[in-house]
């Protein structure tokens, strides 16, 4: 069996490589341009079953070449993180849109089962929690760059479903809810690694806004095992699933818990969003997944609770 993972040197991608090396006998090809991923994330893997190819998913011929002969595709390569999207919106849009289309177009030739990574961002700023995959989305104005990532990911999903319906391409889409764990950095605005770095260094934990916004965090090892299982499940083809742990917590409480578990003397400070980003920045109040459909389809949901997640990352 031959498996392609785009973005395989990234945070989630590298853990998926680990999972496939440990639990299957598949030969794995990683396609990555190392713009956000790190070679060090997969350097520990010494298996001759792993091949790493440096390349850009926006290059159609490169994608077509690595897809040829693949038995499964996990498309994880993307521009990620609110900070990067706002700082570099055009490059992010091109990566997320043209990259996904290149993968789907190449996969269609041999009807290769394909997983498309999406995000809880597509729900926008709806206040109805938990988020159900079939509910309406609520987004802000297109002139606000805050919503460009949600728009691109929604377009990725629509393209995937278009290929499923018009070309019978077996695709599965999953919306990730704040996937966290070892190897993640705070470079692109990820809150847990940022808080932990600050706590371990004795620096103030910087909370954006008033800290009452809630988020649900999911251990990366839970996420990648579910991703693998979904693509093995024909019932999941042509559908979208939330992958997340239904354990919402406010950012204020998250900061307090990080301080408690690390035994840090750090204090908590609050920074207005407009000071950190742009004046038109909007932060959705809640992010909580409804995982009913996921449990019905594969019989399980992510299991690691927040304390387990934090302890693993801190260690």
Give the residue numbers marked as catalytic.
149
Residue 102's Cβ-side half-sphere holds a number of Cα atoms within 13 Å equal to: 24
CA angle 174, 179, 185 (to 5 degrees): 135
CB 115 within 8 A of CB 230: yes
Q: Tell me the β-bridge partners of 50.
A: 28
Q: What is the C-alpha to C-alpha distance for residues 253 and 241, in angstroms, rounded to an integer?
A: 28
Q: What is the C-alpha to C-alpha distance for residues 268 and 259, in angstroms, rounded to an integer?
A: 9
Q: What is the C-alpha to C-alpha distance for residues 184 and 10, in angstroms, rounded to an integer?
A: 9
Of 28, 13, 26, the C-alpha closest to 80 is: 13
Give the number of other Cβ atoms within 10 Å of residue 40's Cβ.
10
Give me the DSSP letters along 62-108.
HHHHHHTT-SEEEE-----SHHHHHHSHHHHHHHHHHHHHHHHHHHH
Q: What is the C-alpha to C-alpha distance for residues 52 and 224, in angstroms, rounded to an integer?
A: 19
Q: Tell me the β-bridge partners of 218.
A: 179
CA angle 169, 92, 195 (to 5 degrees): 110
Q: What is the C-alpha to C-alpha distance for residues 24 and 50, in angstroms, rounded to an integer?
A: 12
Q: What is the C-alpha to C-alpha distance for residues 248 and 97, in angstroms, rounded to an integer?
A: 30
Phi-psi domain of 253 (left: phi exceeds 0; alpha: psi -120 through 50; beta: other): alpha
Tokens read off for 76: 């994880």
């Amino acid at each position: 069996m031959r498996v392609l993972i785009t973005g395989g040197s990234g945070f989630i991608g590298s853990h998926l490589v680990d999972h496939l090396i440990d639990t299957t006998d598949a030969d794995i090809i990683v396609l990555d341009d190392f713009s956000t991923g790190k070679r060090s994330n997969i350097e520990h893997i010494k298996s001759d079953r792993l091949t790493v190819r440096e390349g850009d998913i926006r290059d159609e011929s490169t994608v077509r070449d690595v897809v040829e002969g693949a038995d499964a595709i996990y498309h994880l390569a993307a521009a990620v993180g609110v900070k990067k999207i706002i700082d570099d919106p055009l490059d992010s849009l091109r990566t997320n849109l043209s990259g996904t289309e290149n993968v789907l177009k190449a996969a269609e030739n041999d009807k290769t089962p394909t997983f498309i990574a999406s995000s809880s961002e597509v729900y926008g700023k709806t206040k109805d929690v938990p988020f159900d995959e079939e509910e309406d989305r609520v987004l802000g104005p297109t002139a606000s760059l805050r919503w460009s990532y949600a728009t691109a990911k929604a377009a990725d999903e629509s393209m995937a479903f278009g290929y499923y319906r018009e070309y019978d391409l077996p695709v599965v889409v999953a919306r990730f809810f704040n996937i966290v764990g070892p190897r993640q950095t705070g470079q692109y605005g990820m809150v847990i690694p940022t808080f932990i770095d600050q706590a371990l260094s004795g620096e103030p934990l910087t909370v954006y806004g008033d800290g009452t916004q809630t988020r649900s965090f999911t251990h990366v090892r839970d996420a990648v095992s579910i991703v693998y299982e979904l693509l093995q499940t024909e019932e999941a083809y042509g559908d979208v699933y939330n992958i997340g742990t239904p354990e919402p917590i406010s950012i204020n409480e998250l900061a307090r818990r990080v301080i408690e578990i690390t035994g840090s003397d750090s204090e908590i400070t609050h920074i207005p969003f407009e000071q950190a980003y742009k004046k038109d920045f909007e932060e959705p109040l809640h992010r909580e997944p409804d995982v009913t459909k996921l449990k019905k389809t594969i019989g399980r949901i992510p299991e690691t609770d927040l304390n387990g997640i934090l302890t693993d990352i801190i260690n």
